[in-house]
Structure 1
Amino acid sequence: MPFEDFMMLDYMTNIIDILLVWFVIYKIIMVIKGTKAVQLLKGIFVIIIVQTLSVFLGFDTLSAMMEQVIEWGFLAIIIIFQPELRRALEQLGRGRLFARSGNQEEEETKLIIDHIGTSISYMAKRRIGALLSIERETGLGDYIETGIPLQSKITSELLINIFIPNTPLHDGAVVLQKNQIAAAACYLPLSESAFISKELGTRHRAAIGISEVTDAITIVVSEETGAVSLTKNGELHRGLSVEDLKSLLSEELLSSSKSKQNNSSLFSMRGKRND
C-alpha cells in the first residue's frame, strides 16, 4: 500500500473514531437528560476543574484531597446510581439504549395527547369553555408574552383547573410549547373572515385567527353547547368526538409517514362539518 494511501486511511480512521466518541457522549447525555444524574455530572466537572487548578497552582494538600475524592467517587457513583445503571444495561442488552431518546419523545407525545383528551372530555361534558393552542414549527412567543407564564408540566388536572370559570386564568388561551404549558390567559388574534358563522363566539374566531397566521393546532370547547372544535391552516373542524380529536392530534403530532398519508382523508371526513 502506498504511503499516501496509508496516511489517508489512518486519517479517515481517526475522524470516524472521533465522530463515534462524540455520538456515544451525545447519546449518554440524552439518556441522563432530565434525571438527577445531570446534577451529578455537573459536580464531577467542578471536582475535575478544582483538581486541575490545584495542581497548576501547587496546592498539594487540596490536590491530594481531590485525588482521593475522584478515586473513591466512582465507587460511590456506582452505589448511588445502581438502579439507573441497571436500567441502562438492560436497555443495552435489548438494543434500546441508543433508540431511547426517540422512543421517549414519542411516548411523551402520546401521554400529552391523552392528557389533552381527558381534559377536553371533562370540560365538554360540563360545558366549560376552553381555548388550547399547540405550537408547532411557527413560534408562538409573541402570543405567549401576552399571557401569564407557567412553564409547567402538561397534565389533564392542571388544564381543567385553568379553565374553571371565574378563576384568574380561565379567560384567554392556553399555549402549549415544547411539551410544557407555556402560558395561560393569552390573547390570540381574531379572524376577520366574513365566512365564519355568526353563531360562533370569540374563542372560535381566535382559534381560526391563530391558524391563519401560524401552523398551530388549536382546540376549542364551546361554553354554550360543549361541542369540541379544532382549527388548522385556517380551517375550522366542528363536532369532533374526543376519540376523533385524539386521532387527529396523533396524526399531526406523531411524525410517521402513515399518519401523514391518512391525515388529509380524516380531515376531509370531519372538516366539512362547518354548520
Structure 2
Amino acid sequence: MRDIIDILVVAYLIYIVLAWIKDTRTWALFKGVMIVLVVASVAYLFQLHTLWWVVSNAITVGTFAILVVFQPELRRALEQIGRGKLFESLINTSDQAEDGLTDEAIEAIAKASLHMSKYKTGALIVLEQETRLGDVERTGIRIDGLISSQLLINIFEKNTPLHDGAVIIKNNRVSAATCFLPLSDSMEISKDLGTRHRAAIGISEGTDALVIVVSEENGIISCVRNGKIKRGLDAELIKKILLSTRKKKRSERKKVIWKGKSKNE
C-alpha cells in the first residue's frame, strides 16, 4: 500500500510539473532535455564512451545554465506554490486549442489594423500558436474578451491605460493587454525600426507566435514570424497570413503529448 501511495504521489507531481511548463516557453526546453537524456541513455547502454563523456558534461553544465536562464520562471513557480495558486491554475486550466482564428476574428484583426494604420495608432498584436505564452500574458492585464475590431482599436487608442505593450490573442479571444515582450538583440534589424518592431521580432525568435505590428510613425502594417519581418501589408495580405495559421493548425490535429496539443484527429 505504501508503494502504491508513493508511486501515485510521484506521478501526480510529474503531472503538475508537465502541466505547468506546458503553459510557458519552458516546454520547448523540456523537449530538448528529453532528447539529450535519450542520447545519454543510448551512449550508456552501448558503452559509447566518447559520446557519454560529451553528453554527461553537457548535462552538468546545462543544469546550471537552465537555473540561470529560467530563473524568472522558477521564481514565479515557487511564488505560485507559496500562494497556493499553482494547483488552482492547474485545476482551472482547460487546454482549449481550437482550429485557429474564425473568419470573424480574421476580419476584426484586419479591420482594426487598417483603422489604426490610417490614424497612425501604434499597435502590437501577438497571436499564440503552438508555443504557450502564459508567462508573457502574466506580465500584462487579463482581458479575456471576444475579438472585435472596436476592442482592439480601443485598447491601442493613444493616452489610454492599455495602449502600451502588446495584446495577446489565443483561442479566438483577446487574452491580455499591456504585455511586456522580450526585445531582440539582433544586429541585423534596421535602424528605421523602433522598440515596437524589435519587441515583435524578439517574441517571434523565441516562439512560433505570429505578430502584427502597426507603426505609430508612418502607419505601416508589418507581420513578424520566426524573427523575419514583412512590411507594407494591406487588407488582403493580412487576411491571407492570418488564414494560413488556421490551415496549419487544422493539419496538425493530433493528440501527442510530445507536441503539447490536446485534440484528437
User: Which TM-score band applies after superposition, normalised by the shorter structure?
Assistant: 0.5 to 0.7
- What's the TM-score once normalised by structure 1's chain length? 0.54
Structure 2, unmatched stretches of 5+, are: 1-97, 252-265
More helix by share: 1
Q: Aligned partners of 2:150, 2:101: CA distance in 1, in Å?
A: 17
- Do the aligned partners of 1:149 and 1:183 also contact (CA within 8 Å) in 2? yes
Cα RMSD (Å): 1.8
| Bigger Cα Rg | 1
CA distance in 2, matches of 1:134, 1:163: 16
Matched, 1:248 2:241: yes
Distance across 2 between alignment mates of 1:187 and 1:147? 7
Shift of 1:145: 0.1
Say if 1:109 and 1:254, in contact at 8 Å, map to a contact too. Answer: no
Instruction: Write the distance in 2 (CA, Å) between the matches of 1:229 and 1:190.
Output: 17
In the other structure, the counterpart of 1:212 is 205
Indicate yes or no: 2:109 matched with 1:140: no
Partners of 1:179 and 1:257 lie apart in 2 by 15
TM-aligned CA deviation for residue 107 of structure 1: 9.4
Amino acid across the alignment from 1:178: N
Percent identity for Structure 1 against Structure 2: 51
Aligned to 1:234: 227
Change (3 A) 1:171 1:138: same
Counterpart residue type for residue 177 of structure 1: K
Q: Give the aligned length.
A: 154
CA contact (8 A) 2:99 2:246 kept: no
> When the two structures are superposed, what TM-score results if normalisation uses the length of structure 2?
0.56
How far apart are residue 255 of structure 1 and its match?
3.9
Match of 1:109 among 79, 102, 112: 102
Deviations 1:8-54 (A, max 9, x none): xxxxxxxxxxxxxxxxxxxxxxxxxxxxxxxxxxxxxxxxxxxxxxx
Q: Report the Cα offset of residue 179 of structure 1.
A: 1.2
Give the match for residue 193 of structure 1: 186
2:124–2:200 contact (8 Å) kept in structure 1? yes
Residue of structure 1 equivalent to 2:214: 221
Instruction: Kindly indicate whether the alpha-carbon contact (under 8 Å) linking 2:100 and 2:171 is maintained by their aligned counterparts in 1.
Output: no
Letter aligned with residue 150 of structure 2: E
- The answer for the alignment partner of 2:13 in structure 1 is none
Q: Distance in 2 between matches of 1:184 and 1:256?
A: 24
**Structure 1 residues 177 and 107: CA distance shift in structure 2, 3 A:** closer
Residue of structure 2 equivalent to 1:149: 142
| Distance in 2 (alpha carbons) for counterparts of 1:146 and 1:107 | 24
Equivalents in 2 of 1:121, 1:171: separation in Å? 19
Identify which of 171, 175, 195 aligns with 1:178. Answer: 171
2:127 is the counterpart of 1:128 = no
Q: Residues 172 and 107 (structure 1 numbering): CA distance in 2 closer, same or farther, change over 3 Å?
A: closer
Q: Aligned match of 1:168 in 151, 161, 164?
A: 161
| CA apart distance, 1:112 | 0.6
